[in-house]
Structures are given as C-alpha cells and as structure tokens.
Amino acid sequence: MILLKFTAVVLLAVCSEAVTRPGVAPLIELNDGKTIPSLGLGTWLGFTKSGDRVPVNDDSVQKAVELAIDAGYRHIDTAAVYSTEEQVGAAIKKKIEEGAVARGDLFVTSKLWNNNHAKSAVVPALKESLARLGLEYLDLYLIHWPIAQTEHSAYADIDYVETWQGMMDAQAAGLAKSIGVSNFNVTQLDRLISMSKVKPAALQIEVNLNLQQTELLNFCKAQNIAVIGYTPFGSLFHGKAAADAPPPRSDDQALLKIADRHHKTVAQINLRYLIELGVIPIPKSVTKKRIEANIEVFDFQLNQQERDVLKSFDKNYRTIAVTQWKDSPYYPFNK
C-alpha cells in the first residue's frame, strides 16, 4: 500500500506538474514576478434576454464568493461595471475575519471602465473600486476594453496607450500589484508593448470551445503574457446558447464519453481543456455544487485524442461581440 502510494506520487510528479490536489489551482508566474492562481471565479451576472445587464439586487455574488473561498478558490474576477465589487469585498472581509484565508493568499482582479480612460482618471477610478471592495490594493487591474467612452457612452478620442500610462501610475503607487488589458487584439497588444515601458502581465479575452484563440494564445506565449479566459463555457449550456451558436452542448455524445472516462462532468472536461491550452479560466457560478465542481479539474489530464475532439469545436464564434461598438476606431474584433 505504501509502495503503491509512493509510486503514484512519483508517477504524478514525473508525468505532469499540472496535476495536483483537487480544489487547489496551482500558481502561474507572471512576467512581473508575481503569481496568479490558474483558475478563478467570475462574478458578472451577465445580460438579460433583451441585452441589458442583469440587475444586481440580492447577495448571491457575496454568497458565491464565500462558497468559492471555502471550496479552495483564491482568485476572484470582478469589474467596476459589474456592480459586484461591494459583494466581492464583503465576502473577502468575512472570510478573512473568520480566519479562513489571508489577504495575501487571495488574487483579486478588477477592471477600469471605458469612461475613465484619460490618464489622470485611472488612479481615481481604481481608488473607487478599492473603496467598494474594502481593499488596500488589487492583485490585477485591467483596462476592460480598448474603447474609450464618455459618461454618456459616446466615443472619447483617447488612445489606450495613454490609458496605459495611468495604469503604470497605479502600479507604481502600489494600488495594483500587476496590470494588464482585456479584449485587445494582437495588433493592439503589439502596438501597446512597442510603445510602453511596462508590458501587460495578463490579457483577459473570451476563450471557450467555440473560440479557442490560437493566434492570441501563441502571441501571448511568445511575449510571456498570461491569458485569462472569460466566458469559458461559451454556448455549452442550452439555457445560455444563442440559436445560431455552433455545437457542442453539454449533452454532446462525444463530450459525455470523455467525461465518463474520467469520472468528470462535461463542464469539468471543458475547463480542463482550457487549462491544458495554457488558459486561466474564470468560470462564473452562483450555485454551490457548480462552484465546487468547477475547481475540481486539477486531478486528471486529457489525452491527445480527447484534445483533438475538443479542438474540432473551434469555430471562431464569439458570444461577447459588442457589435454596438463596431464603429469605434478601437473596436478589437472582426467587423
């Protein structure tokens, strides 16, 4: 028995560093020397069927963050525009008071909204996020979109290179340990890097089975920029999938077969695949069972044949296309 156990440990150590205890997301090193947990909890409540933001009018996000921390999550993703920063902060405060976790063990991300892209507006906006979160610093602050807008949603003529100067100020002031961007394409990222003294530590983009982002992943790998994958489930669940969304859904026979082989769910297979692509997924759930299951993806590995099946669903299909912004000179996606 002892020998068997020993052999299993050695085998694990030899076969892959990525396979660890369930419920614990291994840390990944960023290009600025900090570390980020390789899976996090999303806290955006999403859009209603008519395209508006789901109103935040209960404490479901606070409950979700508390459950997540209890389940082993150490990485939480929020944004000024989600209206969930207060709840994320309340949950963190409660868990620290309970002694369940220390601030230094948590990785908290928030994002700068489009109406604060002026260089001088960045630090004040970050301070407002920190006040809502009840935190002294963020682990990661992201420019949410490359598109600048006014308070009234008109386009503002502000280059994201200028906005990045404000992000560098925030980092220098110790208000954000790491800084990065979200929803930038390769051209924009390349331009930002060539024109700035500090390289983004992370890029947050949509990555899921229908949108596997090979070009951006390769670019970020070469540049040593961590890729955080949002909307990691894409159109996997019937309730969320648009009528025109390509397969698969969670009852897909090929996916169910892979899931059965590993004694996992299709959702877990989906997340594991993204992790093996080198992506840091941030699945959102406010449901206890799902929150717990979504981090149980570090105790198994897919094989090449299984990865080939998952690769076949890559259709360059985007769930968050923000086509209302397609006339902006900074619109990042194909028009």
Ligand X SMILES: *[C@@H]1O[C@H](CO)[C@@H](O)[C@H](O)[C@H]1NC(C)=O
Ligand Y SMILES: NC(=O)c1ccc[n+]([C@@H]2O[C@H](COP(=O)([O-])OP(=O)(O)OC[C@H]3O[C@@H](n4cnc5c(N)ncnc54)[C@H](OP(=O)(O)O)[C@@H]3O)[C@@H](O)[C@H]2O)c1
Active site positions, annotated:
82
- Residue of 256, 235, 202, 194 whose CA lies nearest to 317: 235
99 sits in the region (left: phi over 0; alpha: psi -120 to 50; else beta) called: left
Sequence-distant (6+) residues with CB within 8 A of 238 are 249, 250, 251
Q: Which residues pair with 76 in a beta bridge?
A: 41, 108
DSSP string covering 251-284, please? T-HHHHHHHHHHT--HHHHHHHHHHHTTEEE--B
Residue 220 structure tokens: 């970020």
Residue 230 structure tokens: 């949002």
Q: Residue 283: which of ligand Y, ligand X, none does it interact with, CB under 5 to 8 A by kind?
A: ligand Y
Verify binding: residue 219, ligand X, rule CB under 6 A: no
Quick one: 89 or 146, whose CB is closer to ligand X? 146
Verify binding: residue 330, ligand X, rule CB under 6 A: yes
Quick one: 187 or 305, whose CB is closer to ligand X? 187
User: How many residues make up the chain in this entry?
Assistant: 335
Quick one: 63 or 290, whose CB is closer to ligand Y? 290
Q: Which residues pair with 74 in a beta bridge?
A: none
Verify binding: residue 185, ligand X, rule CB under 6 A: yes
- Residue of 130, 138, 83 whose CA lies nearest to 107: 138
**Binding window for ligand X (CB under 6 A); candidates: 74-82, 132-140, 184-192, 206-214:** 184-192
Torsion of CA 17, 23, 29, 30, to 10 degrees: 140
Q: How far is the CB of 34 from ligand X (least distance, A)?
A: 28
Verify binding: residue 203, ligand X, rule CB under 6 A: no
Verify binding: residue 188, ligand X, rule CB under 6 A: yes
Q: Residue 330: which of ligand X, ligand Y, none does it interact with, CB under 5 to 8 A by kind?
A: ligand X
CA distance 275 to 232: 10
# binding residues, ligand X (CB under 6 A): 8
Residue 177 structure tokens: 């340990």
Q: Is 144 annotated as a binding residue?
A: yes
Q: Residue 187: which of ligand X, ligand Y, none does it interact with, CB under 5 to 8 A by kind?
A: ligand X
Residues forming the site for ligand Y (CB under 6 A): 42-44, 46, 77, 144, 182-183, 204, 230-233, 237, 240, 267, 282-287, 290, 293-294, 320
Residue 241: count of CB within 10 angstroms of its CB: 19
Q: Residue 185: which of ligand X, ligand Y, none does it interact with, CB under 5 to 8 A by kind?
A: ligand X
Q: How far is the CB of 266 from ligand Y (least distance, A)?
A: 8
Verify binding: residue 186, ligand X, rule CB under 6 A: yes
Verify binding: residue 332, ligand X, rule CB under 6 A: yes
Question: Which DSSP category does 313 fall into?
Answer: T
Binding site for ligand X (CB under 6 A): 185-188, 330-332, 334
Binding residues: 144
